[in-house]
Amino acid sequence: MPDADASGALRSPSLRAYWMAETLRLREALWGPLEDAMEVRRARAEGGEFAQRVLARARHLGRREKLDQLIQQWMQGSRLALTGLCLIALLAGAGAALGALGDGSRPVNLLLALAALLGLNILSLLFWLLSFAARTPASATWLGTCWLWLTRKLARGPDAALVPRALMEVLSRAGALRWLLGGISHALWSIALGSLVLALLGILSARRYSFNWETTLLSPDAFVTITTALGWLPAKLGFAMPSEAIIRASDGLQQLPESAQALWSGWLIACVVVYGLLPRLAGTILSLLIVKSRLAAIELDPGLPGYAELRDRLSPASENAGIDAPSGPAFQAHIQPAEHAFPLADQPLLVGIELPSDRPWPPMDLPAAVADLGVVDSRPQRKRLLDHLQARPPERMLMACDAQQTPDRGVIALLADLAGLAGRGHVALLGLGPSNAARASTWQDRLLAAGFAPEQIHTDLAPALDWLAGTPAQGREARNAHAGP
Amino acid sequence: MPDPKQALKLAVVGHTNTGKTSLLRTLTRNPRFGQVDDNPGTTRHVEGARLLVDGQAAVELYDTPGMEDGIALLDYLDQLAAPGTRTDGPERIRRFLDSPESRRRFEQEARVLHKLLECDAGLYVVDVRDPVLGKHKDELAILAGCGHPLLPVLNFTRSPEQRLTSWREALGRLGLHAIVEFDTIAPALDGEAQLYDKLALLLDRHAAPLMTLKNDVIRQRADRHADALRLIAELLVDAAALRLSCPPDHDAVQAATATLRRSIREREAACVAALLKRYNFRSHDFPAHTLPLEGERWGMDLFHPQALKDVGIHVGKGMAAGAMAGATLDAFTAGLSLGAATLLGAAAGGLWQGADKLGKRVLGKLKGYQEISVDDAVLRLLALRQLALLEALEARGHAAQAPIEIAGSPALTPQEQADPDGWRSGKLPDELLEARSQPQWSTLADNYQASARHRDVVQSLTRKLAAGHPGPMGSSAAPPGGLSF
């Protein structure tokens, strides 16, 4: 049965998967995303392309949310609706046959009977064919749409409306919707016409009918032309057609032989079969074949809203590989005051620590009493400085650092070593501004942790130099004292 | 030949606080990787991440703690070397890893060297805002001792304080001529491709998987771009098609306008969220109260006339202000005022739907109902805002911490004034004009109905958007427009 084929196409496992995914997508678009960590993990473990993972996630989530049962219910409803429509088609076909031929009390007007049997069918077929020419490929099949409408009425529950909507989306995206609805429509017409032909055969076998043609306006020749033209194709297919003489004689005014009535009933049945049943059967088969091939080529559109956002979770570009070992305690350098056996050198020392080469050094306003040891950067320079301080430790030393740089463990350790060697070692942070306030506080934290006192840290060079040369007043007195006697 | 199953292992090494974790975040497109802070010693252990191509690990990246004490470590290595013996670099490193200080003062450095010995190569991350110092050179000497190729990756190259030339010169002197510039906050569009190209040159045995990875990265970027434009096109069609009908009294019109605005705002927020998700940025980068986005232009309400003027959209005299701003009020016209082309589309839209729709509209017309839809100017603003956001997302590295800001200068750049996509003035795309006549196309509408034509229109609008915004494939290495840090 063709309708079994129609719902058979909906039963294919792959379509079910896409249908479920679409139902879920629509549901999440309407009511927000579902919690899906477990399902995503399972879909990722199953592997495959992104599209397969989307389908797998939908399968797992659908089972959890009982959407698969909804789809099952809808399928049952759709089958019920289809069966109902088939029954109606059967009855309508038989009814049409009875209505067109009447009860045999009056002769049957051949052309009117044919129009009654085929008119609506031909019209709707033409309409379906015309729908291909329209820009909008609407389904244009009332029966197919009617089936959809019926199934919606049969579905109950809040999510139930989503199921057919999702099916429509999936089918139309696959280019199969119009063909499926067309196929159902053709199949129902085929059933109606089949039952019509059977009813015709039955009635014509069991009752006596006489056939004639009538016209007021047209000439008998026109009727001959129409009848032979209509009979041409059935004759090619092997149906016995009335000859011209019989056609001319069937004007209802002459007595016809019994064989002529049999010929006319054959002509009528042949026309219904050839112009009604066969095109519809062909349409059914064509539509279902196309549905089948379209559904075989069905694929997921990964760019759809709802799917696109899943990509980074289902097919991540990277995954974490873990850590080697938990972090241990951080190493912290401390100032170790050296014990000096001899008095410290009087001359205050100034040293630049890892200053960039584009910073002018030494500073312009360097007090005369201060000795500049230059900028210490490389390993040999460090070594030379440490050796120098070891041999002649100063009473006062100022270490100038670039506040813009990151205070790393190495430089803090160096500052702690140097401060330990001098009697009093202070640090000046150069180039502080509002832009690197956070960096300055990092420097201060690190220096405090290494054992520097807050007053040992200067955030500007000028006060630091004043400290180095002695307080301003003291310095001037000292200089005056030297200049005096 | 390397085992094809075995991923290429790369250790990301460098001085402290140069952006090693940031590099991993940007390469893995994972803003949750590790911990990033403008402080030394933020990362205190080795953490790995695998870059996947089709679910298979192509490259394993290891984020390591920063080198902080290079000069002292080099001293210690010298001290460890037995006098009179000549040992090669890796042997010296191994001897250090067995020493007691590798678990105390140099614990961090030991973790780095241990990992680098295991890996195929190292990426040496440099903060080019730092001056070239002796400690960097010593650190590089120690790292080179591991006997694996090192590729310097210059970070923060877009910063105004960069010292790119002195770093290139210094690295060249140390024999490191293959250098790649990669700003982790705002990487060049082809930055990753360049990085893998350089690596492939350096590691010719691993060239094939690196090229696969590179092509995968380029493909993913193009996929993301296409998906994003599709999301924007769906938003625009949803907004253009939305029509609310209401009784003709003043209060009802006000209420319907409020509903219209609310749904459009929510739809825009949903599109922003989807874009962020697709580009794998965290939604909490954009605090809820400042949604849509920060910055003046973004903070401004979608329906405020000033918001339109700011992005250079011509606001006509008829543009309503105040309570009705951004909404257009039509008397019901039964589709007759919509232009011949759209009417044709509506007529071809299937008789079933057409009759249904027409019936409702005629009924509405008889009752004197009015229809409210979104103003053209609001559609333009929506398009411009989403496209600007897309541009910002594409230029943003996953290491970026500052919230996204779209530069909101009142003066438009000459390029903006030229209006290459025609969004600021000129005719709206035909797709949107057609959507205007199809209220059932809007997913915001109660009577939303999927149709093939709707899908075609979204696709063709996506193509139109792509023509104006060719994305990664079109203009490579374009500076990130309008992104401020």
A453 occurs within a structural domain: yes
Lowest mean pLDDT among A114-123, A149-158, B329-338, B422-431: B329-338
What proportions of chain A, in percent to the nearest 5, are helix, strand and coil? 60, 10, 30
Say which residue the tokens 């691993």 belong to. Answer: B206
Give the minimum alpha-carbon distance from B277 to chain A in angstroms, rounded to a whole number.
5
Q: Which residues of B touch A148 (CB under 8 A)?
A: none
Nearest to A72 by CA among A117, A131, A23: A23
- CA atoms of A352 and A377, how far apart (whole Å): 8
Give me the pLDDT at residue B332, please. Answer: 43
**Cα dist. A160→A107, A220, A469, B218 in Å?**
53, 60, 88, 42
Give me the pLDDT at residue B22, please. Answer: 92
Is A45 part of the contact surface with chain B (CB cutoff 8 Å)? no
Residue B178 scores a pLDDT above 50: yes
Q: Per DSSP, what are the bridge partners of residue B53? A: B56
**Cα dist. B196→A96, A260, A423 in Å?**
76, 89, 54
Subunit contact A406:B17, Cβ cutoff 8 A: yes
* Beta-carbon contacts of residue B237 (< 8 Å; ≥ 6 apart): B431, B432, B435, B441, B442, B454, B457, B458, B461
Please indicate, yes or no, whether residues A401 and A292 belong to a single structural domain of this protein. no
Q: A33: which DSSP letter?
A: P
Please indicate, yes or no, whether residues A101 and A167 belong to a single structural domain of this protein. yes
Final residue in a domain of this structure, among A294, A314, A334: A314
| Strand-strand pairing, A396-402 and A424-430 | parallel
Q: Give start-end residues of each CATH 3.40.50.300 domain in chain B.
A: 8-184
A81 occurs within a structural domain: yes
Give me the pLDDT at residue B40, please. Answer: 84
**From A318, A354, A446, residue closest to B52, measured CB to CB:** A318
Please indicate, yes or no, whether residues A295 and A367 belong to a single structural domain of this protein. no
* Beta-carbon contacts of residue A77 (< 8 Å; ≥ 6 apart): A151, A154, A155
Give me the pLDDT at residue B210, please. Answer: 92
Give me the pLDDT at residue B364, please. Answer: 64
A113 occurs within a structural domain: yes
Domain extent for A367: 349-483
Give me the pLDDT at residue B311, please. Answer: 55
Give me the pLDDT at residue B437, please. Answer: 78
Please indicate, yes or no, whether residues A25 and A154 belong to a single structural domain of this protein. yes
Please indicate, yes or no, whether residues A196 and A51 belong to a single structural domain of this protein. yes
Please indicate, yes or no, whether residues A306 and A390 belong to a single structural domain of this protein. no
A335 occurs within a structural domain: no
- Percent of chain B whose predicted confidence (pLDDT) is above 90: 34
Please indicate, yes or no, whether residues A14 and A125 belong to a single structural domain of this protein. yes
Give the minimum alpha-carbon distance from B60 to chain A in angstroms, rounded to a whole number.
8
Strand ranges inside A172-266, DSSP E: 211-212
A325 occurs within a structural domain: no
pLDDT tens digits for range B453-481:
888 899 999 999 988 877 654 433 333 33
Distance, C-alpha A360 to centroid of its chain: 59
Is A358 part of the contact surface with chain B (CB cutoff 8 Å)? yes
Determine the residue among B42, B277, B458 to mutate to test chain A binding: the one whose Cβ has the most chain A Cβ atoms within 10 Å. Answer: B277
- Helix A177-206 / helix A142-154 crossing angle, nearest 10 deg: 100
Per-residue tens of pLDDT for chain A, all 485 residues: 444 444 555 555 688 899 999 999 988 887 888 898 999 999 988 888 889 999 999 999 999 988 899 888 888 888 988 899 899 999 999 998 888 888 778 888 888 888 888 888 888 888 888 877 765 545 556 666 677 677 666 666 667 778 888 888 888 888 888 888 888 889 999 999 999 999 989 988 888 888 888 888 888 888 888 888 888 888 888 888 888 888 888 777 777 787 888 888 888 889 889 999 999 999 999 999 999 999 988 888 888 888 888 888 888 888 888 888 888 777 888 888 877 766 777 788 999 999 998 888 888 878 888 888 899 999 999 999 999 988 888 888 999 999 889 999 999 999 999 999 888 899 999 888 888 888 888 999 999 999 999 989 998 888 888 888 875 544 434 444 443 33
Lowest mean pLDDT among B302-311, B321-330, B445-454: B321-330
- For residue B478, the tally of other CB atoms under 10 A from its CB is 15
Average of pLDDT values for B97-115?
Answer: 91
Give the minimum alpha-carbon distance from B197 to chain A in angstroms, rounded to a whole number.
19
Burial of residue A134 (number of CB atoms within 10 Å: 0-12, 13-18, 19+) = middle
- CA atoms of B89 and B80, how far apart (whole Å): 12
**From B62, B107, B349, residue closest to A328, measured CB to CB:** B107
Say which residue the tokens 């109260």 belong to. Answer: B289
Q: Containing H/E element for A341? A: none
* Beta-carbon contacts of residue A336 (< 8 Å; ≥ 6 apart): A416, A417, A420
Nearest to B123 by CA among B182, B53, B51, B76: B182
A402 occurs within a structural domain: yes
Give the minimum alpha-carbon distance from A303 to chain B in angstroms, rounded to a whole number.
5
CATH architecture of B8-184: 3-Layer(aba) Sandwich (3.40)
Give me the pLDDT at residue B161, please. Answer: 87
DSSP A60-82: HHHHHTTHHHHHHHHHHHHHHHH
pTM: 0.78
Positive or negative: CA dihedral B2, A323, B38, B22: positive
Helices (H), A237-310: 244-249, 258-272, 278-296
Please indicate, yes or no, whether residues A276 and A371 belong to a single structural domain of this protein. no
* Beta-carbon contacts of residue A102 (< 8 Å; ≥ 6 apart): A108
pLDDT tens digits for range A135-173:
554 555 666 667 767 766 666 666 777 888 888 888 888
Q: For B246-252, which contacts have Cβ atoms below 8 Å and span 24 or more sequence positions?
A: B246/B369, B246/B370, B246/B371, B246/B372, B247/B367, B247/B368, B247/B369, B247/B370, B248/B368, B248/B369, B248/B370
- CA atoms of B132 and B170, how far apart (whole Å): 7
Give me the pLDDT at residue B358, please. Answer: 55
Q: A102: which DSSP letter?
A: T
* Beta-carbon contacts of residue A31 (< 8 Å; ≥ 6 apart): none
Q: A331: which DSSP letter?
A: P
- For residue B392, the tally of other CB atoms under 10 A from its CB is 24
Window B:147-186, CB contacts with A under 8 Å: 161
**Chains A–B, number of C-beta pairs less than 8 Å apart:** 191
Please indicate, yes or no, whether residues A301 and A383 belong to a single structural domain of this protein. no
Give me the pLDDT at residue B360, please. Answer: 61
Residue of B nearest to A381 (CA): B134
Please indicate, yes or no, whether residues A263 and A386 belong to a single structural domain of this protein. no
Is A12 part of the contact surface with chain B (CB cutoff 8 Å)? no
Determine the residue among B30, B44, B68 to mutate to test chain A binding: the one whose Cβ has the most chain A Cβ atoms within 10 Å. Answer: B68
Q: Which residues of A touch B115 (CB under 8 A)?
A: 324
- CA atoms of A88 and A192, how far apart (whole Å): 8
- CA atoms of A416 and A397, how far apart (whole Å): 12
Residue B291 scores a pLDDT above 80: no
Positive or negative: CA dihedral A66, A72, A75, A80: negative
Is B226 part of the contact surface with chain A (CB cutoff 8 Å)? yes
Give me the pLDDT at residue B471, please. Answer: 63
Q: A104: which DSSP letter?
A: S
Final residue in a domain of this structure, among A269, A299, A314: A314
Please indicate, yes or no, whether residues A111 and A229 belong to a single structural domain of this protein. yes
CA angle A212, A217, A218 (to 5 degrees): 65
Task: State how many domains chain A has.
Answer: 2
Q: Which residues of B touch A29 (CB under 8 A)?
A: 443
CA angle A272, A276, A282 (to 5 degrees): 135
| Strand-strand pairing, A318-323 and B47-53 | antiparallel
Is A325 part of the contact surface with chain B (CB cutoff 8 Å)? yes
Distance, C-alpha A142 to centroid of its chain: 32
Mean pLDDT of chain B: 78
SS3 of residue A325 by DSSP: coil
SS3 of residue A250 by DSSP: coil
- Per-residue HEC secondary structure of chain B comes to CCCCCCCEEEEEEEECCCCHHHHHHHHHCCCCCCCCCCCCCCCCCCEEEEEEECCEEEEEEEECCCECCHHHHHHHHHHHCCCCCCCCHHHHHHHHHCCHHHHCCCHHHHHHHHHHHHCCEEEEEEECCCCCCHHHHHHHHHHHCCCCCEEEEEECCCCCCCCHHHHHHHHHHCCCCCCEECCCCCCCCCHHHHHHHHHHHHCHHHHHHHHHHHHHHHHHHHHHHHHHHHHHHHHHHHHHHCEEEECCCHHHHHHHHHHHHHHHHHHHHHHHHHHHHHCCCCHHHCCHHHCCCECHHHHCCCCCHHHHHHCCCCCCCCCCCHHHCCEEEEECCCCHHHCHHHHHHHHHCCHHHHHHHHHHHHHHHHHCCEEEEECHHHHHHHHHHHHHHHHHHHCCCCCCCCCCEECCCCCCCHHHHHCCCCCCCCCCCHHHHHHHCCHHHCCCCCCCCCCHHHHHHHHHHHHHHHHHCCHHHCCCCCCCCCECC
Determine the residue among B59, B71, B111, B456 to mutate to test chain A binding: the one whose Cβ has the most chain A Cβ atoms within 10 Å. Answer: B71
**Cα dist. B267→B16, B328, B443 in Å?**
44, 18, 10
Q: Which residues of A touch B46 (CB under 8 A)?
A: 323-325
Nearest to A172 by CA among B454, B390, B217: B454
Residue B76 scores a pLDDT above 70: yes
Please indicate, yes or no, whether residues A106 and A201 belong to a single structural domain of this protein. yes
Cβ contact A210:A331 at 8 Å: no
